[in-house]
Amino acid sequence: MPSEPELQKLFERTPIGMYRSDASGRLLAANPALVAMLGYDTIEEVLALDLARDVYAEAGGRAPVLEEYRHTGVVDGSRVQWKTRTGRTLSIQLFGHVVDTAQGLTFDATVIDMTEIDAVEREVVRQREELERTAATLDQVVRQMPTMYWLVDHDMRILRTGGSVQPILGYAPDKFIGVTLGQVHATEPGSSSPIEPHARALRGEIVEYHTLYRQKELTTTVGPLRSRDGTIVGAIGTSIDVTAIRQLERRMIDAQRAESLGVLAGGLAHDFNNLLVAVLGNADLALREIPAGTPGRTAIENIRQAGLRASELTYQLLAYAGRGGTGTTRVSPAEMVDELLRIVGASFPPGVTVSVEFEGDPTVRADPAQLRQVLLNLITNAREAVGAHGAIRVHG
């Protein structure tokens, strides 16, 4: 056992505060570490203090400790608030026991200043909470974007996944946890194998590639996953769902093609219209020279009518190409049907009959060229529907 001088030396040299007090709170002994902790210069100054009044930060703060001493004979790590000479608050952890001396019961205590440790712990808790909030925010951001991520080890075994796995691929994020990429590709193959890009990532490269998986077009980037010392411990991959973007790009290409076709149609319609001018002009001249009832005049009249209809078609092409306008007027569907039948009726099979029944002479407001095209389509479809024998009835 250590001798009394050795124990006295330990009491004086230990960096942990120690003291002895009586039941009234008078300090009977104190070591230099306690003096320094409380901010005093000498042991005598500390021995002149009253624990309840001068050391405990709150009135009545010593009473629970004293009660614990009396009830159990020890104090085992109680946390109390003390104050220094300047009034700064200390967070103290107190260990002590009751000693029965000739002067009566005294209390020996060991004091550990936990102020800085508590501050560090609070800072650690604050940083942990901040990191958790940041991680939760980032996870929410990733979930709101058409993005997924995953981690694999050197065996290409999936360790973790996250992001919008469920909305994009339709299955739970943890479906393939613990499964290798090779097994996933064998079960649900995409348009390209993920093995080679991940192998390059495990060698330290950053690889980007495109793939079609579960009818989703994905742009994927795979890079090395490193530890704090820079060692490659796996690979981390991210995929962005670009399906909607690709569809929009294709629609834009189709729109550009349609615009090009419109330009081409407009040019062709303009040139064709110039040719029709010559056809209609010569037809008009021929009609002036051929009297009514002369053989061949009906054919020229049909040529003129067809030319006029062709002119209307070029007008529609110009409107489609954005080089013309559309307008409506009062037109007679019955007259249009008669005119169309004179033009196309000769091509009907002999076994097909056509009857036209309109009450009175009704008129409608429409674009003449567009209405004529609709009626022509209906008559043509009806002729094809009845075949070589049948009856077509047009009424209104």
pLDDT in tens, the chain (396 residues): 566 777 788 888 889 999 999 988 899 999 999 999 999 999 999 999 999 999 999 988 898 988 888 888 899 999 999 999 999 999 999 999 988 877 778 899 999 999 999 999 999 999 999 988 887 887 777 777 788 899 999 999 999 998 888 888 888 888 999 999 999 999 889 898 999 999 999 999 999 999 999 989 999 999 999 998 999 999 999 999 998 888 888 888 877 776 776 677 667 767 777 777 777 777 778 778 788 777 777 888 788 778 777 777 776 666 655 555 556 677 788 887 787 777 677 677 878 888 888 777 778 877 776 777 778 788 888 888 887 788 888 876
* Alpha carbon distance, N-terminus to C-terminus of the chain: 126
Query: Sign of torsion, CA 190 192 195 199?
Result: negative
Contact (CB, 8 A) for 136 and 151: no
Phi/psi at 298 (nearest 5 deg)?
-60, -40
Task: Provide the β-strand partners of residue 213.
Answer: 216
Contact (CB, 8 A) for 113 and 80: no
Two tokens at 281?
A: 């002009």
Task: Provide the β-strand partners of residue 20.
Answer: 29, 108
- Site of tokens 């005119």: 339
- The boundaries of every CATH 3.30.450.20 domain in the chain are 4-113, 145-241
Largest CA distance in the chain: 156
What Cα–Cα distance (Å) separates residue 17 from each residue in 32, 95, 96?
7, 11, 12
For residue 264, what pLDDT is reported? 73
CATH code of the domain occupying 326-396: 3.30.565.10
For residue 388, what pLDDT is reported? 79
Which CATH fold topology does 145-241 show?
A: Beta-Lactamase (3.30.450)
**Residue 17 and residue 381: Cα distance in Å, rounded?**
107
Q: What is the pLDDT of residues 160-195, one digit of tens each?
A: 998 888 888 888 888 999 999 999 999 889 898 999
Contact (CB, 8 A) for 80 and 96: no
**Residue 30 and residue 42: Cα distance in Å, rounded?**
10
Long-range contact pairs involving 94-100 (C-beta distance under 8 Å, separation at least 24): 94/65, 96/69, 97/69, 97/73, 98/69, 98/70, 98/73, 98/74, 99/20
Contact (CB, 8 A) for 270 and 179: no
Q: Which element (helix H / strand E) includes 39?
A: none
**Residue 230 and residue 237: Cα distance in Å, rounded?**
18
Two tokens at 143?
A: 């979930």
- Site of tokens 């002590």: 96
Q: Is 333 left (phi over 0), alpha (psi -120 to 50) or beta?
A: alpha
**Residue 142 and residue 135: Cα distance in Å, rounded?**
10
Amino acid found at 265 = A
SS3 66: helix
How does 38-69 read in b/e, with b if 16+ C-beta sit within 10 Å?
bebeebeebbebebbeebbbeeebbeebbebb
CATH architecture of 4-113: 2-Layer Sandwich (3.30)
- Site of tokens 């700064």: 88
- Site of tokens 């694999």: 152
- The boundaries of every CATH 1.10.287.130 domain in the chain are 244-320
How does 144-162 read in b/e, with b if 16+ C-beta sit within 10 Å?
eebbbbbbbeeebbbeebb
**Strand positions, DSSP E, 164-309:** 207-213, 216-226, 232-241
Domain covering 244-320 assigned CATH 1.10.287.130 in the classification: yes
**Residue 385 and residue 289: Cα distance in Å, rounded?**
41
Q: Is 166 left (phi over 0), alpha (psi -120 to 50) or beta?
A: alpha
For residue 329, what pLDDT is reported? 74
What pTM value is reported for the model? 0.47
Contact (CB, 8 A) for 139 and 118: no
What is the Cα 375 distance to its own chain's centre? 51
